Structure 1
Amino acid sequence: MAIYSLFLMTISVFGVVSSPCFRNEQSLLLQLKNNLTFNSTMSTKLVKWNQSADCCSWEGVTCNEGRVIGLDLTNESISGGLDNSSSLFSLQHLESLSLAYNDFNYSHEIPSEFDKLANLSYLNLSSACFTGQIPIAISRLTRLVTLDLSFNDLHLENPNFKVLIQNLSELMELHLDGVLISAPGNEWCRALSSSLPNLRVLSLSSCNLSGPIDSSLRNLHSLSIICLNDNYFSAPVPEFFADFKNLTSLEVFGSELNGKFPEKIFQVPTLQTLDLSYNDDLQGSLPEFPLNGSLQTMVLRGTSFSGTLPSSIGNLKILSKIDLWRCNFVGSIPDSMASLTQLKYLDISYNKFSGSIPNFSMCKNLTTVRLCNNYLS
């Protein structure tokens, strides 16, 4: 839900409309509707836009003193009609725009006129079936706080990744999952650290990135969410990840990580989600867990983690998912795990655990338990 935070905040601040919609802006919105192809039986917003009502009352439209500042056309079954001549690019006061979860049929590139929307702070074009090169116009939206172009068929060559982000110094959330970037660690990491000092959310899954992860990334002190799944790092996880004081989520599954995972990352007080799965050569062991840790999801499946489960795992009172499938753990299952009352999912199959199974009767939320292929009695 993080990618929508700014848009929702805008709605909450400007939700009360004190002035009627400017007539020219209402005309532009109606022109936009008429030029878009959308499924009227599935639309919940566009289909209701009409001349008889003030446009500031239309669903998906947010106004401030009669000016249209927000447009949310998420999941409106739009399938075409957006090009450089669109009236959309005449809505000069737009601050928030979402065209996410529509279907431009992978036959439409992102229009090059986006730089006309100079006031945009939130832009979400995710899962909209755009294709081709990301235009240089996006790099000119210098007020952007959130940029989401993920899950399309996009690539970065000219401009490349460095050029795209070098002027976006206000950016706090960057989502480019699935965008073909194809850059080594010393390029993409240094581009991020030199251009985006306020970055909190970094999501670059399936971007054809390679490693090692450069030490320059440690300069992004505000990082909270790191999602780098499905890349080709062929390198260890850096120890400096444990220095991110606001880290809540670290996901790097299937990214060819190796070496020993830093135990200190498990102990970051704010960490809620850790997913290291399907990194066959990644080794490590579990540390002693502090009291009242924040960890909710711990997924190590398909790694080479080994050793025993510490009894201090019972300190993770809000842990809801443990997945240790096909690791190399040994020893007994600590009785303290039976006190994890929020636990919903437990998979420790295909290890070398032995001894008795704790009584999980206190775990009222537990829906999935997999213990097979161990030495349990």
Structure 2
Amino acid sequence: MGQGAAAIPQIPNSLLPRRSTIIFLGLLVIGVVCASKDETPPPTTSIATRGAASRICLSNQSSALLQFKQSLVNIGPRWLSSWQHNGSDCCHWEGVTCNNLTGFVIALEIHDLFLPDIYYPSLFYPKGIAIDSSLFKLRYLQRLDLSYNLLNGAIPKRLVELTHLTHLNLSHCGFSGQIPVELSQMTRLVSLDLSYNDGLLLQHPNFSQLFRGLVHLEHLRLDRVDVSMSLRDVSMSLSSSHDLQTFSLSGCNISGPMDESLLHFQSISYLDLGSNKLESSIVEGLCSLGDITSLRLRASFMTGAIPPCLFSLPCLKELDLGGNHLNSGIPNLQLSQIDSSLTELDLSGNRLTGSIPSSLFNLSFLATLDLSHNLLTENIPSSHFNLPFLKK
């Protein structure tokens, strides 16, 4: 060895067996852990992938997806083009998410697939289709979004077979008839959207029977579903859903009056009860909902005064009280309310009287303001159109 070369330390032979033993045991442990993961179903919160999966999609999953695509006879030619019988990994297909440990499909999100009106004149618009049974072979689905698709008939009872489902969106699909009682067994649901299926109704079961056990709900949208129940009974049916954040039931044939039963939704951020027949004043208790960002009570036969405390809600961005019978003046905002984060204010179509308080124009984030069709004694002065975000 030359003089400039560094000496390489020699490993004593007595240590070599120990190191090889440790390496062997380490590999054995890793092998056992990986084997045990392959033999168990996907956990509720799964490791998912849309890209480089460590394991390709299972053949029974890809065949179920292809069968489901074949049932969608009215979809546009460019939709689901990646879904092919060419041996490609279905975990890379459009709208599909897999568990990368097991290969099971855990999310199917394929919305708005059908051809627009330019392909189908109104006289020849295609009829909707029923959900194909192949969907229920994807038994580890956690998220299912088929919204804005041309479906029809009743919501299938077999959805209850998807026992891992936490998010279900069937909005704007054309479903009709009774919502099946089987949905009450889907107790893992966190988000449910059945809105804007104009023929849906809740009678047998009614709202209480369907939702009393869905205690994990955080987001509920049933707009245009015929509920035909009082607001108090609806609210009390969800009293165990302590984490409810979205509560959207506009146009649901809900009757009033509005009362304090709404106030146990202390986590609520979006509340829409518009186009119902509440026939009451706005309860000041709503001002205790400190996390609310959007409050919509449009065309709900609300009467009386606007509670000034609504403008003190720290997170409120959208306030829509239009189309009611409110008959007071517009509240004069206090200095502490001027820092409000309000961006949209609609008080149109009421019976509001008096002058427009100048303090209203100190709401610096206001982008949309509608005070039309009231009994106010003056128009909005042009000098007030200097709010930086106000749409002119």
Which residue number in structure 2 is paired with residue 73 of structure 1?
110
Q: Which amino acid aligns with 1:323?
A: D
Moved more, 85-94 or 282-291: 282-291
Distance 2:342 2:269 in 1: 14
1:227 maps onto 2:261 in alignment: no
Contact 1:287–1:310 (CA<8 Å) still a contact in 2? yes
Distance 1:134 1:246 in 2: 31
Contact 2:305–2:328 (CA<8 Å) still a contact in 1? yes
Which residue number in structure 2 is paired with residue 90 of structure 1?
137
SS in structure 2 at match of 1:298: strand
Larger radius of gyration: 2
Q: For the structure 1 residues 309 and 70, does the alpha-carbon distance in structure 2 shift closer, same or farther, using more than 3 Å as the test?
A: same
Which residue number in structure 1 is paired with residue 228 of structure 2?
182
Shift of 1:288: 1.0
CA offset digits 1:193-241 (Å, max 9, x no partner): x232111111001100000123121011001111111110111111111
CA offset digits 1:101-160 (Å, max 9, x no partner): 1112x4x11111000111111100000001100011221111111100001110001111
CA offset digits 1:293-338 (Å, max 9, x no partner): 1111111111122233333223311111110012122357568724
**Match 2:96 to one of 39, 61, 64:** 61
Aligned pairs for 1:5-24 within 5 A: 14-16=49-51, 17-24=53-60
Contact 1:14–1:62 (CA<8 Å) still a contact in 2? yes
SS in structure 1 at match of 2:144: strand
Unaligned runs of 5+ in 2: 1-44, 116-126
Q: Provide TM-score, normalisation by structure 2.
A: 0.79
Q: Which amino acid aligns with 1:191?
A: S
Q: For the structure 1 residues 12 and 316, does the alpha-carbon distance in structure 2 shift closer, same or farther, using more than 3 Å as the test?
A: farther
Identity of aligned residues (%): 38
Aligned pairs for 1:302-321 within 5 A: 302-321=349-368
**Match 1:137 to one of 178, 182, 204:** 182
Which residue number in structure 2 is paired with residue 127 of structure 1?
172
Higher strand share: 1
* Number of matched pairs: 330
1:173 maps onto 2:219 in alignment: yes
Q: For the structure 1 residues 284 and 159, does the alpha-carbon distance in structure 2 shift closer, same or farther, using more than 3 Å as the test?
A: farther
Distance 1:13 1:90 in 2: 19
SS in structure 2 at match of 1:115: helix
Which residue number in structure 1 is paired with residue 61 of structure 2?
25
Q: For the structure 1 residues 246 and 181, does the alpha-carbon distance in structure 2 shift closer, same or farther, using more than 3 Å as the test?
A: same
Shift of 1:284: 4.3
Contact 2:83–2:90 (CA<8 Å) still a contact in 1? yes
Which residue number in structure 2 is paired with residue 100 of structure 1?
147
Distance 1:331 1:132 in 2: 49
Q: Which amino acid aligns with 1:343?
A: L
Distance 1:292 1:234 in 2: 32
**Match 1:37 to one of 69, 73, 81:** 73
Shift of 1:283: 3.3
Aligned pairs for 1:244-259 within 5 A: 244-259=289-304
SS in structure 2 at match of 1:37: coil
Q: Which amino acid aligns with 1:64?
A: N
Unaligned runs of 5+ in 1: 1-9, 345-365, 367-377
Moved more, 302-311 or 268-277: 302-311
Which residue number in structure 1 is paired with residue 35 of structure 2?
none
Q: For the structure 1 residues 29 and 331, does the alpha-carbon distance in structure 2 shift closer, same or farther, using more than 3 Å as the test?
A: closer
Shift of 1:259: 1.8
Distance 1:120 1:126 in 2: 16
Distance 1:11 1:156 in 2: 33
Which residue number in structure 1 is paired with residue 309 of structure 2?
264
Q: Which amino acid aligns with 2:56?
A: P
Distance 2:135 2:177 in 1: 21
